[in-house]
Structure 1
Amino acid sequence: MTRYTASGFGVPGEAEVRSWRNSWPPLFKALVRAGLSDMWVYLEYGTPGGGRRLDALLIGAGPDAVLGLVVVELKQWQTCRILDATRVQRSDGVVTAHPVHQVDAYRSFFTHWRPKSAPVLDVRAVVVLHDATAEEGAVLLAGAGGGERAGIPVLTAEDLSRPGRELAGLLQAGDLEAPDPRQVMVFEHIRWEPSSRLLEHVGAELEGSGTFALVGDQQDALLRILASAAQHLPAPESDYQAQEGPVGGAVITVSGGPGSGKTALAVRLLGRLMRAYPAAHPCFITPSGTLRAHLLDAVRSQKAAPELFPGIGALRSTAQRAGALVIDEAQRINRAGSRGLPPDLGAVVKKVPLAVIFLDERQVIRPGEGTTVEEIRAATRALGRTHQHLDLTGSFRCAGSAAYTDWVDALLYSDPVPWAGHEGYDLATAQDPFALQEWIEQATADGHTARTAAGFCWPWPRDRPRTPVLPLDISIEVPTPTSSGGTRVWEAAWNARTALTAPDGTVLAPKSQLWASHTGGHQQIGCIYTAQGLEYHHAGVIIGPDLTWTHGRWAAHPEESRDKELRGLPPEQYLRYALNIYRVLLTRGTHTTRIHSTDRKTQHYLDTLIRPGSGSGSPR
């Protein structure tokens, strides 16, 4: 229990400790009986970002010295009711993930979060119901379906009593031997990270062939939403348009911080609803034009893409016809002067049979925004409809480092603390924008996506010439590293509003909404409006003169802003939005972040928090 708490999982409750005492002894007795005493065993193995803990993970050396992993899901159940291939209802009435579905997601995690530099892994999985009979285990296994989950056995008390090598085979470890300590050390130092980005696989996710693994509270949330869909949407074979009215009605809010997997879950949900309830015409809407542009770009080969991802201006009309509606970045919906819900969102809550609304209240970045979970809950209940709220607590960006996202929140909203390189996330400061630019260019040359985003503190004229050369609107004076006391001037261009190409066809700059991912974007500077909702491998962040560390606290300087929506605000009101903006910019990097402040005192303060050596220094 001491090590459990020291690992950051908190103090275990009585029920959890009781579960360990009931489940661990049968597992270890089985391992000894199977002749697997030399296997390495990790109990309560935490996935990155706190997404979920695995009950047990066995490590052994397989054929050709390939490291073999066996993910073990331990259950004390004897009986349960099979709802479908992904959900079961326990004897106490709780609906939860089917254990085979659950352990399959963990197996998929190890496959798809393994970095290219890590050794090849042979990942297997098994469910152990140590109190169940063979008949009860067979019922559970039969309800799991086949397909991707084929090959995951469900072992019962009878199986655990089988002799040596037979039991080892049932535990998926018959060909595994004691691992070399060096292999174990390499495994323990793997920095798990997504092998691909969501936007590269949106089409596959919608078709049901995606490879993104939803684990922990992501998986739980998906199952709970689908359960609500089964209750409030018409049967798949019925015609939604012919219904007298909505079949029941439910609004589900899903909260989560940056990188908690909101958009990944939303896209996976859209795909499931499309296949299960096509007559309900499920749609995905976001007030972020940048995120919508990337989604449309990712599925541009699909003719129905504009209908699946209508613009935010169509929210009210979509609410009149859709049976299921997924809304992402809902905190950014314009309130249009209303004191309660934004009128368009009010229409959704009133009309749509199943509305799933994703939001992060700390990503409100303009005065006309700011929908809250409480407002949605109150409006839903006032209409006599069902409301359910779900929280995503994991961190699946920033190398899965919950410590980094916690550090960012402490830096901006509470008491800043030194960064000590927790969980391996690569964070450092850049002493000037020249160094930051060089770092971005090197990362790009190495084949990674690398972008610099800045506070909106320099002019960005709307009427820019459509020429192969962008105006260098951003200008920052940098003291020269000599005793002369002179300065150099670093200049850069904001991202282009329209795509620019050279006469020979070379892409010089993508249009602003695709700046974060398309060729040439690393040569321009992005801002909150082109970065929010997206991610890239390496993130450079320039904190402009609108936010400084002064007298032990953050001070806002709205007069330094060039955003017409924010420039005229009082400092204390502007501070809220500035902190939220920089929180977004600081959490875009999946691998590394470099920070530079144009204010010398603020830069010095950041240098004291981020000690040299806590980042690796060069892009990976």
Structure 2
Amino acid sequence: MIIYESTTSGFLTDVENEVIVDRLYDVYQKKICRTSRNEIRSWDSSLQRMSNVLRDRDIPRDAAVAIEFKIPNTGKRVDFIIAGNDGAHDHAVIVELKQWESVQKNDRLDAVVVETYLGGGQRETTHPSYQAWSYVSLIEDFNQDVRDIPIKLKPCAYLHNYLIQENDPLIDPHYAEHIEKAPVFRKGEMEKLRSYIKKYIKYGDKNNIIFKIDNGRIKPSKSLQDSMANMLLGNPEFVMIDDQKVVYEQILQYAKSCISANEKGVFIVQGGPGTGKSVLAINLLVQMIQEDYFTMYVTKNSAPRNVYATKLKGTMKKKSIDNLFKGSGSFHSADKNEFDVSIVDEAHRLNEKSGLFNNLGENQVKEIINSSKFSVFFIDEAQRVTLKDIGSIELIKQFANELGVKVFEGELASQFRCDGSDGYIAWLDDVLEIRETANQNDLGMDYDFKIFDNPNTLLETIVEKNKVNNKSRIVAGYCWEWISEGKNNRDVHDIVIPEHNFSMSWNLGNEIWAISDESVYEAGCIHTCQGLEFDYVGVIIGDDLRFENGRVITDYTKRAKTDQSVKGIKKKIKEQPELATKLVDQIIRNTYRTLMTRGQKGCYVYCTDQALAGYLNERIQRVYDEQREVKDMLVAESREKYK
């Protein structure tokens, strides 16, 4: 989708006559939605500067110009394109426009991140050169016409308000790799930008270049397919066994059948913690891409997307992998059947509305089904951990029925976490009083579960376990305020337990906390560890879960004010006290159940409530006593047998 398209001559005339913004605004309103005054002002300023750039007698007046090009099947928008021919090939110069006046270098994160003033404050964002290059990478990876014709895409960035300074952080060697791929031009460098454009646009557009970019067939490139397939080979983390393989084959069969018959389909996969939902989802993503189906891996939380994308990257282009991983809030503007297959991991975390202010779209479940020819939902309803989580099997079926979509179902039962048995999970459900189970005194296997009376000892133990393979982490319930000013500083400690002289930071502003080096010294939260797994997990339980009068109780008032998972609960309790109390009680119990099932080999716990610690110790002691009784009985029977 393009908001504005013309020739260089037409664009210059529209700017000169001061109608360019009105035309952009009118089309934007019709095709997309309302836009803000700030965005209109940014258009006006930036497009005035681009008109100055293009007022050069050597830039052909019949070159094509496009503004606000929405890359098909994504929410990404290219600010400005000028297209033409260099005498041998068709070219399109992609220009990322910024009004930034300054930036700060960011040494801590990957060399794509800078800090600048955005939205009323200093924020981390991608370097404009990387942003421009990533758009080109996205188009080249998925637009078959661009690859086959070919149309050569040339990215750059133009920061027309940016004041050049000595030792300029914008062009620091830290960002050299991306600047080499997409040069950046600053205030006072208009002639350099003109020269860059004229290098590729010597003649006008005779071949409808913009149309072909906008309407090219969407198909993953062969290099992308091969690279992804190679990354799974020999990687034990992504090997499927038992019912994973069965469900995987079922999904492939139904997806291909539905798509070839021009019918929509939905496949619902139920599975508890550690049943291999994410491993299956990643294998499906790779296989469907391999077979030419345009496929996306979708989660509401960014943490699992970023971790699995990082694990898959290897030597492959970073953005090529990133483009296959999508947030659940981006489907409200998608067209019907834009995607062949959407693979939705952690579907229980889907929200009703999308957007920063939860004001976009109708329902994420419905929007995903509508925009995809075949949708796969991996779900565990017991892992809904915020008031906004609405993903349920019933709701998926409801919208599928409304849209006339076939529904298929499968289940994953085999455990790959918690040492290969669902006995521990059943025992934990009983302990946390989520549901009564037969596993009151039975973990079902040899699982390492311990209660610590000092959080310092807990951290020391997890750090020691982590030395083996960087697969042990500390997580905590959301009972401590997140100090926003220190979100990138490990010396700023959010979690403080004074009686033990203990403190540590929440996970820093790091998208891959679960696998980053040194992040063992930072505490993860439900949002950064859900959908992921470790060998050992250390869980700090706060005052929102306590033991009183012989029962495990929850207390939402002990949650941090910065906790968004129970935002709005006070209003709900006033309006519907019984329903709201039950709902928030379930969220808190589900949160700790999720945190305490992240470890494959063991779970170590510290409780701020000593009564709860005593109760957990008593419950695990009953397990050990019963194991000892069984062992003694077996020994006695053996001795009797061989007398």
Scaled by the length of structure 2, the TM-score of the pair is 0.55
Give the Cα–Cα distance (whole angstroms) in 2 for the partners of residues 349 and 515 of structure 1.
31
Q: Find the counterpart in structure 1 of residue 350 from structure 2.
A: 333
Give the Cα–Cα distance (whole angstroms) in 2 for the partners of residues 574 and 343 of structure 1.
22
- Deviation, 1:318, is 5.4
Aligned 1:346-361 pairs, distance under 5 A: 346-361=366-381
Report Cα offsets for 1:217-247 as digits up to 9, x if no partner: 212211111111221123xxxxxxxxxxx81
Give the Cα–Cα distance (whole angstroms) in 2 for the partners of residues 319 and 538 of structure 1.
43
SS in 2 for 1:537: strand
Give the Cα–Cα distance (whole angstroms) in 1 for the partners of residues 417 and 605 of structure 2.
17
Letter in structure 2 aligned against 1:474: I
Question: Is the 2:479–2:544 Cα contact (8 Å) retained in structure 1?
Answer: yes
Give the Cα–Cα distance (whole angstroms) in 2 for the partners of residues 354 and 302 of structure 1.
27
Q: Find the counterpart in structure 2 of residue 268 from structure 1.
A: 283
SS in 1 for 2:481: coil
Give the Cα–Cα distance (whole angstroms) in 2 for the partners of residues 448 and 438 of structure 1.
14
- Deviation, 1:402, is 1.6
Give the Cα–Cα distance (whole angstroms) in 2 for the partners of residues 342 and 401 of structure 1.
39
Give the Cα–Cα distance (whole angstroms) in 1 for the partners of residues 622 and 416 of structure 2.
25
Compared with structure 1, are the counterparts of its residues 209 and 435 closer, same or farther at alpha carbon in structure 2 (3 Å cutoff)?
closer
Matched, 1:592 2:602: yes
Give the Cα–Cα distance (whole angstroms) in 1 for the partners of residues 568 and 365 of structure 2.
28
Equivalent of residue 316 in structure 2, options 295, 298, 302: 302
Deviates more, 1:317-326 or 1:516-525: 317-326
Question: Is the 2:538–2:605 Cα contact (8 Å) retained in structure 1?
Answer: yes
- Deviation, 1:394, is 1.6
Compared with structure 1, are the counterparts of its residues 400 and 318 closer, same or farther at alpha carbon in structure 2 (3 Å cutoff)?
farther
- Deviation, 1:313, is 3.3
- Deviation, 1:414, is 2.2
Q: Find the counterpart in structure 1 of residue 88 from structure 2.
A: none
- Deviation, 1:585, is 0.3
Matched, 1:456 2:481: no
Once the two structures are aligned, what percentage of the paired residues are identical? 27
SS in 2 for 1:424: coil
Question: Is the 1:517–1:536 Cα contact (8 Å) retained in structure 2?
Answer: no
Q: What count of residue pairs does the alignment treat as equivalent?
A: 377
- Supply the RMSD in Å over aligned alpha carbons: 2.8
Give the Cα–Cα distance (whole angstroms) in 1 for the partners of residues 407 and 436 of structure 2.
35
Give the Cα–Cα distance (whole angstroms) in 2 for the partners of residues 317 and 356 of structure 1.
20
Q: Find the counterpart in structure 1 of residue 536 from structure 2.
A: 538
Q: Find the counterpart in structure 1 of residue 294 from structure 2.
A: 281
Matched, 1:442 2:469: no
Letter in structure 2 aligned against 1:436: L
Give the Cα–Cα distance (whole angstroms) in 1 for the partners of residues 486 and 558 of structure 2.
22
Matched, 1:476 2:476: no
Letter in structure 2 aligned against 1:334: N
Report Cα offsets for 1:520-541 as digits up to 9, x if no partner: 1111111101111111111111
- Deviation, 1:466, is 4.7
SS in 1 for 2:602: strand
Deviates more, 1:529-538 or 1:410-419: 410-419
- Deviation, 1:208, is 5.9
Compared with structure 1, are the counterparts of its residues 430 and 465 closer, same or farther at alpha carbon in structure 2 (3 Å cutoff)?
closer
Compared with structure 1, are the counterparts of its residues 430 and 598 closer, same or farther at alpha carbon in structure 2 (3 Å cutoff)?
same
Equivalent of residue 404 in structure 2, options 384, 407, 415: 384
Compared with structure 1, are the counterparts of its residues 524 and 231 closer, same or farther at alpha carbon in structure 2 (3 Å cutoff)?
same
Give the Cα–Cα distance (whole angstroms) in 2 for the partners of residues 525 and 540 of structure 1.
9
Question: Is the 1:296–1:309 Cα contact (8 Å) retained in structure 2?
Answer: yes
Give the Cα–Cα distance (whole angstroms) in 2 for the partners of residues 547 and 405 of structure 1.
18
Compared with structure 1, are the counterparts of its residues 596 and 612 closer, same or farther at alpha carbon in structure 2 (3 Å cutoff)?
farther
Q: Find the counterpart in structure 2 of residue 566 from structure 1.
A: 566
Matched, 1:313 2:329: yes
Letter in structure 1 aligned against 2:250: R
Q: Find the counterpart in structure 1 of residue 420 from structure 2.
A: 400
Scaled by the length of structure 1, the TM-score of the pair is 0.57
Give the Cα–Cα distance (whole angstroms) in 2 for the partners of residues 233 and 274 of structure 1.
14
Q: Find the counterpart in structure 1 of residue 448 from structure 2.
A: 426
Question: Is the 2:385–2:565 Cα contact (8 Å) retained in structure 1?
Answer: no
- Deviation, 1:568, is 5.5
Q: Find the counterpart in structure 2 of residue 257 from structure 1.
A: 272
Question: Is the 2:274–2:418 Cα contact (8 Å) retained in structure 1?
Answer: yes
Give the Cα–Cα distance (whole angstroms) in 2 for the partners of residues 470 and 614 of structure 1.
40
Give the Cα–Cα distance (whole angstroms) in 2 for the partners of residues 283 and 206 of structure 1.
17
Structure 1: any 5+ residue segments left out of the alignment? 1-201, 235-245, 479-487, 498-510
Question: Is the 1:365–1:581 Cα contact (8 Å) retained in structure 2?
Answer: yes
Question: Is the 2:266–2:405 Cα contact (8 Å) retained in structure 1?
Answer: yes
Compared with structure 1, are the counterparts of its residues 558 and 375 closer, same or farther at alpha carbon in structure 2 (3 Å cutoff)?
same
Letter in structure 1 aligned against 2:344: I
Report Cα offsets for 1:422-451 as digits up to 9, x if no partner: 321111111221221121122123444221
Question: Is the 2:307–2:514 Cα contact (8 Å) retained in structure 1?
Answer: no
Structure 2: any 5+ residue segments left out of the alignment? 1-226, 574-580, 628-643
- Deviation, 1:350, is 2.8
Letter in structure 1 aligned against 2:324: L
Question: Is the 1:495–1:525 Cα contact (8 Å) retained in structure 2?
Answer: yes
SS in 1 for 2:547: strand
SS in 1 for 2:506: coil
SS in 2 for 1:302: coil
Report Cα offsets for 1:440-491 as digits up to 9, x if no partner: 1221234442211110101112222755x4212212144xxxxxxxxx4222
Aligned 1:117-516 pairs, distance under 5 A: 203=228, 210-211=235-236, 212-234=238-260, 247-276=262-291, 278=292, 280-300=293-313, 301-303=315-317, 304-317=320-333, 320=336, 321-336=338-353, 343-412=363-432, 413-415=434-436, 418-420=440-442, 422-464=444-486, 466-467=488-489, 469-478=490-499, 488-497=500-509, 511=510, 513-516=511-514
Question: Is the 2:423–2:442 Cα contact (8 Å) retained in structure 1?
Answer: no
Report Cα offsets for 1:102-122 as digits up to 9, x if no partner: xxxxxxxxxxxxxxxxxxxxx
Q: Find the counterpart in structure 1 of residue 115 from structure 2.
A: none
Aligned 1:12-27 pairs, distance under 5 A: none
- Deviation, 1:351, is 4.0
SS in 1 for 2:331: helix
Question: Is the 1:256–1:392 Cα contact (8 Å) retained in structure 2?
Answer: yes
